[in-house]
Amino acid sequence: MATTILNLPDDELIHPGNRACAGCGLSIIYRIGLKAIGRDTILVVPPSCLTVMQGLYPIAATQLPCLNVTFASTAAAATGVVAALKAQGRENTKVVAWAGDGGTSDIGIQALSGACERGEDFLYICYDNEAYMNTGVQRSGTTPQGVLTTTTPVIGKLQKSKNVPAIMAAHGLNYIATASASYPLDLYDKIKKAMGMPGTKYMHVHTPCPSGWGFDPRYSVKIGKLAVETGIFDLYEIENGEFRLTGPSKKLTPSKLKPVTEYFDTQSRFRALKEDQIASIQAGIHEKWDNY
């Protein structure tokens, strides 16, 4: 049974008064995600906006035990926590690595790939705000084509974004899912499901970032929804190799897709996009959807 707003757990595992920007998409998914993760869990977090949100010594915003680790080491560190718990017979305690897109798709991908290949027993959550936000909005491997960042100024990023879930799928994981900050219940159910499965699980969460994307914080949820409704970011699961669209993406059809400009127009980071670029992105989305 799908979770509803009314039966989401009450327990708040992140304290208010943390340093995340107002309207931060990461704050939404972290708050709801921790409800799914539960207290008997050890978190592993590399440098990112989440590090700052976690709190500055000696105060922690998160109520779970958490290991802050170096940028490239997230999945290896999660491996180490799992190994130690096993060595001590504390296997009931679960391990969740929670990293940004830079920490996942760029500097941390070696350790992540190694852990996936070994099948280490933890859930890895990548929150994708599509740039290095913590250091002031530089391009990452998942920054979409055309986006303005401080290292892709003037004309925007030339390359397309990396498809990280597909890279994870190539490792043959038991469970891979995408989710979005705008659909917290879907996120909650997927994390719950992942937490109950053995081996390495990967979740990729689209995470609107008002500060880095250039929009008014009030629209964080709206914009995340638009990404799904335009077919730019799709919600799906790959369970034991079986791909299926889920939730709002399942209800979409190529003819129901909103034009991508509806999404692009909401954010200043897309303002350098040219007509032909938009047309080619739109064509790419239709091609993707025709193949679903």
Ligand X SMILES: Cc1ncc(C[n+]2csc(CCOP(=O)(O)OP(=O)(O)O)c2C)c(N)n1
- Window 54 to 113, contacts with ligand SF4 (CB under 6 A): none
Residue 103 interaction partner, one of ligand SF4, ligand X, other proteins, none, beta carbon < 5-8 Å per kind = ligand X
How many residues in the shown chain lie near other proteins by CB under 8 A?
77
Q: Position of tokens 């008014």? A: 216
- Window 88 to 147, contacts with Mg ion (CB under 5 A): 100-101, 129, 133
Does 109 interact with other proteins (rule: CB under 8 A)?
no
Minimum CB separation of residue 88 from ligand X in Å reads 30
Does 22 interact with other proteins (rule: CB under 8 A)?
yes
Among 13, 14, 20, 61, binds ligand SF4 (CB under 6 A): 20
From first CA to last CA, the distance across the chain in angstroms is 25
Distance of CA 1 to the CA centre of its chain: 24
Residue 69 interaction partner, one of ligand X, other proteins, Mg ion, none, beta carbon < 5-8 Å per kind = other proteins
Type of residue at 262 = E
DSSP track, 197-208? SSS-EEEEEE--
Q: Are strands 41-45 and 66-68 parallel, antiparallel or unpaired?
A: parallel
Residue 224 interaction partner, one of other proteins, ligand X, Mg ion, none, beta carbon < 5-8 Å per kind = none
Does 101 interact with ligand X (rule: CB under 6 A)?
yes
Q: What sections of 61-108 are H helices per DSSP?
A: 74-87, 101
Does 3 interact with Mg ion (rule: CB under 5 A)?
no
Minimum CB separation of residue 140 from ligand X in Å reads 5
Q: Position of tokens 């409704």? A: 229
C-alpha angle with apex 268: 262 to 273, nearest 5 degrees? Answer: 70
Does 73 interact with ligand X (rule: CB under 6 A)?
no
Whether residue 232 contacts residue 182, with contact meaning beta carbons closer than 8 Å, is answered with no
C-alpha pair distances (Å), 229 with each of 113, 209, 245, 250, 264:
31, 18, 13, 11, 12
Note the maximum CA span of the chain.
59
Given the complex with ligand SF4, which of 133 and 167 has the nearer CB atom? 133
Does 226 interact with other proteins (rule: CB under 8 A)?
no
Whether residue 18 contacts residue 61, with contact meaning beta carbons closer than 8 Å, is answered with yes
- The one segment of 30-38, 78-86, 88-96, 208-216 that binds ligand SF4 by CB under 6 A: 208-216
- Window 34 to 53, contacts with ligand SF4 (CB under 6 A): 49
Q: Which of 201, 206, 204 is nearest to 227 (CA)?
A: 206
Binding footprint of ligand SF4 on the chain (CB under 6 A): 20-21, 24, 26, 49, 129, 133, 209-212
Using CB under 5 A as the criterion, which residues of the chain lie in contact with Mg ion when the complex forms?
100-101, 129, 133
Which residues are near ligand X by CB under 6 A? 47-49, 71, 100-103, 129, 131-135, 140
